[in-house]
Every structure is written in structure tokens, then in C-alpha cells.
Amino acid sequence: MAEQSISQTYKNILSDLEGKKLLSALDSLKKLAGAATDWELLSELETLSNSYASLLSCMGKGITDKGRDAFYVQFLREAYMLAIRCYRAIKTKERHTIYYTTLNEIGNNKTTIASLIEKFSRLDQHSHLSAANGQNTSEKLCKEEKEKLLEQIFNQLWTSGFLNADEITLLLKAFQNNQSTFSDNNLLIFISALTLSLLHFLDPGKLQLLIELYAAGNSRIKSRALVGIVFGILMNKGYLHLFPETQEALRKLSSQPFIGRQLSILQIQLLSFSTTKDVVKDIEDMLKPVFAKGNAATKQGFNISLINGMLDNDKEFASAEEKELNEHLQKSAEKLMKMYQ
């Protein structure tokens, strides 16, 4: 298949799945899997075809129960995930973009996130020992090697496929440990990698990871994680219903304090860029009704003057760093108020 044909077939599959046109999606998926020339993917396609036949049988018999509905959603979810994997397999061979070139290199190196984190942890311990013993040369070498590993971990998170349960557990343990070898700055970079990954496709594992990091993180981690959550939802809103566990996690997220206020702050920041105004509207129309927690900005809609006053009186900003951020946001809000007058 030609590159343009592959891209169009992939888009057709996603569109058909979103429109619940199962047979059309399955037919296109067969073409995509054939182009991927991967026996594992072809085997999964055969299993999916059998699932479709079983689903038709259930519908033909007029069976209407929760089991059939769950089977239907499961079929859509598996078809979606298989389409993503087929497309990635094809594009990785072509290496036309830095994303797929990086993915190809990672595949050739056969490294894993687990091995990189373990290596980083060992280096971090060695670096501390070298510093304590006054071994400056060794400490410098460790630092350089750690920087390389951080880049590799970023690339792994950015280009990874669907994270499995073990990988999510590993990452949460590494990122949330009170004695973690990763600094806040490291975590912010990793969160950005997860966010960039979600712009390519919806991975419920990555979204779950961001939700967990938001819930347990400090103000800096929360702000960065919320960006990833918002863009992850808005870029993939047509497929969220395929992952009930993710939807439930998002509902629980609404119980987090200040979620409405933080969404408003994100809107202020995004309004500074003309290209993100549509995202601001989506936050207002789609996310705020879900995450509303009773603060003024959430209840009364996006009102810049309310937000400006809220920022002025907010006692959450205690540190010098947070006060600086607060002042920056106030200035942004004041500029936007003039634009709206």
C-alpha cells in the first residue's frame, strides 16, 4: 500500500469505529494488517474477526443483556488498539518522521523502560557515593550518563505503545516513591513525554498514569499532569467510551480540590496562543461540567475577572516560585480582560 493509502485507511478505521460501522472498520483493518506483514498482528486480526462473527450471532438471536453490551465495547476497544499497532508497525519501517525514527531505533536497541530506570537508579547511587568521596571526575561521568538515560526514558515514554499493568505499576513506583531518584524536573519532563504520546493515540495506561501523578503530586506536577490529561481527553474524546476504567478514573478526578480553578488557569494560559482557542472552548464545554467542584470560576463559567480576583486572594500560592507563577497569571488575566472589554 502507498503511504497516502495507508494513512487514509487508518483514518477510515478510526472514523468507522467512532461511528460504530464495525464491518467497514474490520475490512479496512484487514488491509492495514496485511500491509504491516506481522504474523502476530495477523493472528490477532483473525481472533478479532471471530469475535465479530460471535457478536453478529448474539445480535441475530436478539440477545440483549449487559454481557452482550460489554462484548460489543470489547470488540471496539480491541479493534481500535489493533489498528494503532498495525499503523505503528508500518510507519516505523518507513521512518519518515522523528517519532517513528526514534521508535525504530528503540526497537533495534531492544531496551525497556524497566531496564533504563534500574540503570538510572544504580548510577544515581554511584553518583552520590562519588560526590561524598570527593571523586569529581567519576561524579561528572555519572552525571553525563544519567542525562543520556533521561533522554532515553523520555523517548521510551513518548514513543511507547500501550502500557501494560506491570509497566504502569513500575512507573508509579519509580515516580511516586518518597525517596525517588528522579527529581521534580525529571518528572515534569516525563509527564511531557506522556502528553506528547497521547497526541498520537489514546493509551488508557498513560492517561491513568497522569491521573495518579496529578492526585499525588505537588503544584508543579499537578499543573503539568493536568495539561496532559486535558489534551489526552480532547485529542481522543471519540474513543474514551471504549475504556470504562479510564472514564471512572476521570470521574474520581473531579473530587480533587481546586480542579475547576486549575482548569481555569489552564484556559488563561492557552488563550495567550491563538492556535489553542479551540482547546479553551472544549475545556469550557466538555471538561468543566465534569470537573466542576463549586468554585466561582467553575460555577459561573469562564470569567476572567473572577479568576483574576481568585488568584489575588488564593492562599495556596505560598512559596516564592508559586507567587511568581501567580503574578504571571494575573498579568495574563489582566491582558485578556482588556481584550474582552
pTM confidence score: 0.77
Instruction: Indicate if the pLDDT at residue 306 is higher than 80.
Output: no
Residue pair 210/228 in contact (Cβ under 8 Å)? The answer is yes
- Model confidence at 130, pLDDT cuts 50, 70, 90, reads low
Q: Is residue 173 part of a domain?
A: yes
For 136-191, write each residue's pLDDT tens digit. Answer: 556 677 778 888 999 999 999 999 999 999 999 999 888 876 556 788 889 999 99
Phi, psi of 199 (to 5 degrees): -75, -20
Q: Is residue 137 part of a domain?
A: no
110: nearest Cα among 156, 142, 78, 148: 156
Q: In the prediction, which pLDDT does 316 show?
A: 46
For 253-302, write each residue's pLDDT tens digit. Answer: 877 777 877 887 787 777 666 556 676 677 667 666 666 544 444 444 44
Mean pLDDT value of segment 239-263: 84
Q: Is residue 109 part of a domain?
A: no
Residue pair 293/257 in contact (Cβ under 8 Å)? The answer is yes
Residue pair 188/226 in contact (Cβ under 8 Å)? The answer is no
12: nearest Cα among 86, 71, 63, 74: 86
For residue 19, give Cα distances in angstroms to 15, 201, 298, 325: 6, 17, 32, 43
Handedness of CA 158, 163, 167, 169 (dihedral sign): positive
Q: Do 186 and 44 share a domain, yes or no? A: no
Q: Do 87 and 190 share a domain, yes or no? A: no
Q: Do 181 and 279 share a domain, yes or no? A: yes
The domain in which residue 23 lies consists of 3-94
Q: Tell me how many domains the chain contains.
A: 2
Q: Is residue 151 part of a domain?
A: no
Min mean pLDDT across 130-139, 225-234, 252-261 is at 130-139
CA-based end-to-end distance of the chain: 54
- Model confidence at 71, pLDDT cuts 50, 70, 90, reads confident
CA 335/CA 341 separation, integer angstroms: 10
CA 39/CA 272 separation, integer angstroms: 48
All three cell numbers of 313, joined, read 486572594
Q: Is residue 147 part of a domain?
A: no
* Higher-confidence position of 35 and 326: 35
Q: Among 94, 119, 145, which residue terminates a domain?
A: 94
Number of neighbours of residue 19 by Cβ within 10 angstroms: 11
Mean of per-residue pLDDT scores for the chain: 79
DSSP 101-149: HHHHHHHHHT--HHHHHHHHHHHHHHHHHHHHTT-HHHHHHHHHHHHHH
CA 85/CA 104 separation, integer angstroms: 14
Q: Do 198 and 83 share a domain, yes or no? A: no
